[in-house]
Amino acid sequence: MAEEYNPYNPIVMDHFLNPRNMGDLEDADGIGEVGAAACGDIMKISLKISDDGRISDARFKTFGCGSAIASSSMATELVKGKTIEEALKVTNKNVVDALGGLPPVKIHCSVLAEEAIKAALEDYLKRHPEKAAMVATNSHSA
Amino acid sequence: MAEEYNPYNPIVMDHFLNPRNMGDLEDADGIGEVGAAACGDIMKISLKISDDGRISDARFKTFGCGSAIASSSMATELVKGKTIEEALKVTNKNVVDALGGLPPVKIHCSVLAEEAIKAALEDYLKRHPEKAAMVATNSHSA
Amino acid sequence: MTKVYLDSQSSTPVLPEVYEAMLPWFSQYYGNASAMHEQGLRARAALDQARKQFSEAIQSSDPEGVIFTSCGTEANNLAVKGSAYALQHKGRHIIISTAEHPSVENSVAFLERHGFSATRVPVNSEGFIDPADIQAAITPETILIATHYANHDIGTIQPVAQIGTIAQEHKVQYFIDATFSAGWLPINVEEMNASLVSISPHRFYGPKGVGVLHKNRKARINGIIHGGIQENNRRSGTENIPAIVGGGLAMELAETEREKRASRVKALQEKLWKGLSESISYIQLNGPRPGESRHPANLNVSTEFIEGEGQLLLCNAAGIAVASGSSCVSKNLKSSPTLTAIGLHITLAQGNIIFSLGKDNTFEQIEYVVTSFTKIVERLRQMSPMWEDFQKGNISSVIAGKEK
Amino acid sequence: MTKVYLDSQSSTPVLPEVYEAMLPWFSQYYGNASAMHEQGLRARAALDQARKQFSEAIQSSDPEGVIFTSCGTEANNLAVKGSAYALQHKGRHIIISTAEHPSVENSVAFLERHGFSATRVPVNSEGFIDPADIQAAITPETILIATHYANHDIGTIQPVAQIGTIAQEHKVQYFIDATFSAGWLPINVEEMNASLVSISPHRFYGPKGVGVLHKNRKARINGIIHGGIQENNRRSGTENIPAIVGGGLAMELAETEREKRASRVKALQEKLWKGLSESISYIQLNGPRPGESRHPANLNVSTEFIEGEGQLLLCNAAGIAVASGSSCVSKNLKSSPTLTAIGLHITLAQGNIIFSLGKDNTFEQIEYVVTSFTKIVERLRQMSPMWEDFQKGNISSVIAGKEK
Ligand SMILES: Cc1ncc(COP(=O)(O)O)c(C=O)c1O
Ligand SMILES: Cc1ncc(COP(=O)(O)O)c(C=O)c1O
C-alpha cells in the first residue's frame, strides 16, 4: 500500500530509493559540481571518458531533495555510453521525460542535473583542449 | 424525546400548547388590545369584573410567537380572582417568573401581556369612573 | 409519532454510502494532507479525488479550480471578498441583487465599510432579477457581479446564463451562489460563464463541515483565511478530509440521481401546494408557481392573520419540521430580506413558512402535512385577534385584496 | 511492515469514544442548529454541551465565550482580524513575535496592507519571547498583543501569564494561540489574562473540521465570515455538528488525561533525543531542552550535511511518519519562519526534522526510529557532496563550531 502514496511517480521513487551510479570515480576525467547548500541543492557529477570520447562511466553525489537525487541518478544513466557531443545535448527535459515527469515545483532539480553534466564535461574539455577543438568543430558542422 | 428539545421551558411550552383562558368573554367589563401586526404581536385581553371589584374571569386572544401566547395565557391566570388594585400591580416580571423564565429576546412578550392587562383594566375604569376614584384613593393610601 | 422532515433546505441526512465512505477517515486514515508521508499523501489523494467529483458535477474541466472551504457561507465570503481584494486595483464596484443570501449581502456590506461600493439591482414580485438591470448597473469600476442561482427563501431560479453572457461581454467576474442549487439543478460552469460557483454538500445528502468554491482559470481571487499553503494558498487551515471525501461522493451521487430526485420532489411540491391551497383560505404562494422557474424542493407560503413561530412550534409538536422567514436564520425570526425585496406585505412576511422537500419524503407524508397544517392554521386563527377582526369585517385581507 | 506515526502535531487519530459520539450526528440527527424543530433544537443542545466542555477545560466560567470555527487557522484569523476590526477606532497597532504560526503572521501581514501597523518582537535562540520586549512595544495605539503558547516548530513554551499581566496593566487585548498547546499544556484563561484563546481539537484526538476561539466577556471582536446569525453573529455558516460534538468530548477527555498523556510523551521525547544524540554525529536539538519550558510532544532536530525531504521520504519508506520545516507547511519545504527567527544556520534549517510524539507511541517504536534514522542519515551522508567535503576537511561543521 505504501507505494501508492508517494509524492513522486514510481520511476522517480525508484531512482531515489535505488539510486544508480551513486558515489565518486577514482581518477575521474571530468568533475562538475553545481548548486549551493543555501539554495537547498548541490550536485556533483564525475565522469570517466575513454580515448574515443565516449563516457564509459558516471557517478553522482547530491545534497538535495528526492527529485534532486533521482534527477542526478537518471542523468548519469542517460550519459553513460554517450559521446561527449551527445552528452552535451542532454537537456533537463530529457531527464524529466526519462523520469516520467516531475512536479512543477521540482523542475529546477532536472536543470541542475543538466548543468552538472555540462560542468563535468567542460571540466574534461578544459583538461583536454585537443578534444575541445574537435567537439567545437563537430557541433559547428552538425 | 421531542419534549427535551424545545425552544422554551416546559411551563412556557405547556401554556403555549394548552393555553388557559383562550377566547373572548361575552359582555366583557373591560377589554384591552395592545401591539401591532407590523411589530409581530397583538394581544387582546377581556375581563369580567364583579361588583366587589374582583376579576371573576379573563380571556385572551393573541397574534404572536409562542412566548407571546404563553405570556397572555399566564397573565390571564395571574389576574383571575385578583382585585383591580392587585391586578394593576401585576408586572411583566411576575409573568416571566410564573412562566419559569423566557429567553432574553422574548421578554417584550411579557411586557405586552402586562400592558394588555393594564389596558383592559383601564377600559373597565373608564366605563366605571366611580371605581376609578376608589382605586386611585386606595393606591394613594397604600 | 409521525415524523415528517420538510426542512431539507436547511440540512439533509448524510446518505448511507457517503457515511460509509467517510468512516475510515477519522481514526484509520487521519493524516494531515500537507504532510509528506503515507498518511498525509493518502489524504492528499483523497482531496484530489473529491476535486474531480466536484468539478465533473458542474461540467468543469479543471479539478484544480475546486477550493475547499468549511461551508457554503465561507465559500460565498471567499468569492465576494476574495474577488474584491484581488481586483481592487481595477475598480471597487460590485453588483448584487436585493435578494441575496446574508452570506453574500453581508460580505458586500462589509466591503462597503472598507471602501468598496455596490449596486443592488431589484427583484420583481416573484423574485426575478432582470438581466437588463445588471447590464445597466455595470460601470468601468465594476469588478464583480454576484447573484444566486436559486433563491433560498422562495425558490426563484435566476437567468444565470443570460447574466453570465452580460458579465463576459463586459469582462466582469461573475459569481453564482449555487449553495441551494447544486445537486438539484443542472450546472454547467462554461455555459453559464460562471467565474466562480459555490456549493454546499449538506444540502444534497453530504456532510456539514465542507463547502466548495469553484474558480475558473481566468478568475482572480485572494484568500481570506490566511496561514499555511493549503488549497494553493487560496484557503489556509488543515483540510477536513472526512467531510471532503463525503462531500465529493455526495456530489457525484447527487449528479447521477439529480433528475430522478428533482422530478420526485417536484411532484411532492405540487401536491403539497395543491393540498394547502385547497384546504386553507387566505394562504398564498411566494415566488414563482411550481415549474421551470422554481426550485423543485422549495415551497414558501404565507398564511394570513397568524404569525410564523407559532406555526413552527405547532408543526414541531405534530412531528413536522419546517422553517420560517429565511431557512438559514429562522432563529431570529426577523423576516427575511428576500421577502422584503419582493415587496411582501409585512403581516404576510410574518406568517411565512418554508416547506422544503427531500428525496425521501412520501405522498402519505404530504397528506399528513396538509391535514395537520390546516388544523394548525385553524387553531392559531381561533387565537388570533386579527382573524376575529377580519371575521367581523373590521379589517380586510391582503391576499383577498390582491386576488381581486 | 513496522509503522511509526511521529507526526501527531500535524494531526492525530480520532479516539474511539469520540468517533462513537460523532456517529449519530451524520444520518440520524442531521438538523441545522438554526432550525426551530426537534432536529434543529437537538443540534443546538449539542452545541451548548460542547461549549461547556471547551470552556471548562480552559477554566472559563463562560461557555458563551466559545465560538466554533472550522479549524485552528480560522480561529487565529478571527482572533487577529476580528480584534483589529472591532478595535480600530481605538488604534491600529498590533504586537506579535517573529515566531508566530503563519495563520497569525499572515493575518497580521494582511492587516498591514489595510492600514494597520505591527511590531514583531524577536525571540532568542531557543525561541523565547522576552515579556519586557512586549512591554516596550506597547504604544497608545496598541489594540492587540498576539503570541503563541507553545511554538509549533520547536516546542518553546512562552511566558504567557507574564505577557498577560502586562497586557492587562496596559488594558490591551491579549490573544494566545494555543492551537498546539490545548489538550497538552494547562490553560487557565483567567490566570493567563487571556482575552482570546484558540484551540484545535484534531491535535488531541478530536476530529478535523472544528476549531475554537474562546473570548472572555471583556474582549471585543467582529466576525470575519459574514452571513446568518450563527454563533451570535460572531461566525456565520451552518455549524459542523458532528465535529463540534466530537471536539467537545475530545477536549474533555484530553483534560482528564492531560497529565498522564503529557508525562508519557515527555518520557518518549527524552528517550528519542538521547538515542538520536548518542548515535548520530553532528545533530542538534532546536528549541529548549526537554523539560518545563518545552512542549512534551515536540522534538525538532537538525542533522548537518543532508537535506530534509530526503530524510522524510526515507523515513516514510521505513514506515516512519515525520515532518520537516514547519509541521503545517512541509508541502513547500521552505524552511519555517521560526527557524529563521531563532537564527538557525540555513543548512541546518534545511536538514530540519520534527518528530512529534503521541500518546500511543511506544518505547519500542522509539528504538526502531533511532536505529532507522541513524541509518537514513548515514545513507544520505554517503550521497552528500557536503559530507565528503567535510570529511576531507574542505568545510567545517556549523554544529561542531557551536559546541566548541
Ligand atoms: C443561497 C444560499 N447561500 C448560502 C447559504 C449558506 O450556506 P451554509 O449554510 O452551508 O453556510 C445558504 C444557506 O441557506 C443559501 O441557501
Ligand atoms: C501554533 C499553531 N497555530 C495554528 C495552527 C493552525 O491550525 P489548523 O491546522 O487547525 O488550521 C497550527 C498548526 O500547525 C499551529 O501549530
**Ligand at shortest distance from the CA of D100:** 2
Q: Where are the alpha helices (H) located in D280-362, listed in sequence order?
A: 308-317, 337-341, 346-350
Distance separating alpha carbons of residues A52 and A29, to the nearest angstrom: 13
D136 close contact with B: CB closer than 8 A: no
Share of chain D above pLDDT 70, in %: 97
Set of cell numbers at residue C210: 465542507
Asked whether residue A140 is domain-assigned, the answer is no
Set of cell numbers at residue C116: 468598496
Output the CA–CA distances (angstroms, integers) from residue D340 to A107, C159, D86, D97, D308, in the order listed.
Answer: 26, 53, 32, 12, 16
Distance separating alpha carbons of residues B83 and B54, to the nearest angstrom: 4
Are D217 and D302 part of one and the same domain? Answer: no
Per DSSP, the residues of A35-90 read EEGGGTEEEEEEEEE-TTSBEEEEEEEEES-HHHHHHHHHHHHHHTT-BHHHHHT-
Asked whether residue B79 is domain-assigned, the answer is yes
| B20 contacts on C by Cβ (under 8 Å) | none
Are C380 and C306 part of one and the same domain? Answer: yes
Distance C356 CA to ligand 1 centre (A): 14
Decide whether any atom of ligand 2 lies within 6 Å of the D152 Cβ: yes
pLDDT at B12 over 80: yes
The beta-carbon neighbor of D346 closest among A33, A38, A44 is: A38
- The confidence band for B137, taking pLDDT boundaries of 50, 70 and 90, is low
Q: Which residues 30-89 in chain C show a CB within 8 A of chain D?
A: 30-32, 34-40, 69-74, 76-77
Place of cell 457581479: C145
Tell me the residue range of the domain where A93 lies.
10-135
Q: Please report the pLDDT score of residue B135 as a whole number.
A: 79
pLDDT at C333 over 70: no
Lowest mean pLDDT among A75-89, B30-44, C68-82: B30-44
Q: Please report the pLDDT score of residue A138 as a whole number.
A: 65
Are C267 and C203 part of one and the same domain? Answer: no
Number of compact structural domains in chain C: 2
Distance separating alpha carbons of residues B126 and C357, to the nearest angstrom: 54
Are D92 and D233 part of one and the same domain? Answer: yes
Asked whether residue A65 is domain-assigned, the answer is yes
pLDDT at C325 over 90: no
CATH number of C347's domain = 3.90.1150.10
Distance separating alpha carbons of residues C273 and C264, to the nearest angstrom: 14
CATH number of C212's domain = 3.40.640.10
Asked whether residue A28 is domain-assigned, the answer is yes
Pairing of strands C298-303, C66-69: unpaired
Per DSSP, the residues of C326-385 read STT-TTT-PPPHHHHHTT--HHHHHTEEEEE--TT--HHHHHHHHHHHHHHHHHHHHH-H
Residues with CB under 6 A from ligand 1: C 71-73, 76, 101, 103, 148, 152, 177, 179-180, 200, 211, 327-328; D 237-238
Find the mean pLDDT for residues C248-270.
98
Are C151 and C205 part of one and the same domain? Answer: yes
- Is position C315 annotated as part of the catalytic site? no
Find the mean pLDDT for residues D109-129.
97
D313 close contact with A: CB closer than 8 A: yes
Q: Do D36 and B7 touch (CB under 8 A)?
A: yes
Are C245 and C291 part of one and the same domain? Answer: no
CATH number of B59's domain = 3.90.1010.10
Number of compact structural domains in chain A: 1
Are C331 and C189 part of one and the same domain? Answer: no
Q: What is the pLDDT of residues C77-129, one digit of tens each?
A: 999 999 999 999 999 999 999 999 999 999 999 999 999 999 999 999 999 99
pLDDT at C327 over 50: no
Are D281 and D200 part of one and the same domain? Answer: no
To the nearest whole number, what is the mean pLDDT of chain D?
95
Are D284 and D234 part of one and the same domain? Answer: no
Are D210 and D274 part of one and the same domain? Answer: no
D330 close contact with C: CB closer than 8 A: yes
Which amino acid residue places its CA nearest to atom 12 of ligand 1? C179
Share of chain D above pLDDT 90, in %: 90
Asked whether residue A5 is domain-assigned, the answer is no
Q: What is the pLDDT of residues C381-397, one digit of tens each?
A: 999 999 999 999 999 99
Decide whether any atom of ligand 2 lies within 6 Å of the D97 Cβ: no
Which amino acid residue places its CA nearest to atom 7 of ligand 1? C72
Distance separating alpha carbons of residues B56 and D341, to the nearest angstrom: 81
Q: Do B7 and D38 touch (CB under 8 A)?
A: no
The CA distance from B1 to the nearest CA of chain D, in Å, is 9
Tell me the residue range of the domain where C334 lies.
4-8+258-403
- The confidence band for D1, taking pLDDT boundaries of 50, 70 and 90, is confident
Q: Is the pTM of this model over 0.90?
A: yes
Are C91 and C183 part of one and the same domain? Answer: yes
Output the CA–CA distances (angstroms, integers) from residue B79 to B49, B121, B130, B135, in the order listed.
Answer: 11, 11, 21, 16
Of D254, D289, D304, which residue sits at a domain end? Answer: D254
Asked whether residue B142 is domain-assigned, the answer is no
Q: Do C385 and B2 touch (CB under 8 A)?
A: no
Which amino acid residue places its CA nearest to atom 7 of ligand 2? D72
Decide whether any atom of ligand 2 lies within 6 Å of the D235 Cβ: no
Asked whether residue A58 is domain-assigned, the answer is yes
Q: Please report the pLDDT score of residue B141 as a whole number.
A: 45
Q: Contact D25/D46 with Cβ under 8 angstroms?
A: yes
Q: What is the pLDDT of residues A44-53, one digit of tens each?
A: 999 999 999 9
Asked whether residue B69 is domain-assigned, the answer is yes
Among the listed residues C328, C342, C348, C380, the single catalytic one is C328
- The confidence band for D33, taking pLDDT boundaries of 50, 70 and 90, is very high
Minimum CA–CA partner of D314 in chain A: A17
Which amino acid residue places its CA nearest to atom 14 of ligand 2? D328
- Is position B109 annotated as part of the catalytic site? yes
Ligand 2 pocket: which of D9, D100, D103, D185 to mutate (most atoms within 8 A of CB):
D103
Are D310 and D385 part of one and the same domain? Answer: yes
Find the mean pLDDT for residues B74-96.
97
Of D210, D231, D254, which residue sits at a domain end? Answer: D254
Set of cell numbers at residue C31: 493524516
Ligand 2 closest atom vs CA D203: 10
Of D254, D285, D318, which residue sits at a domain end? Answer: D254
Q: Report which DSSP code applies to D129.
A: B
Output the CA–CA distances (angstroms, integers) from residue B135 to B46, B48, C352, in the order listed.
Answer: 19, 17, 44
Q: Give A51's contacts (C-beta < 8 A, 6+ positions apart).
A: none
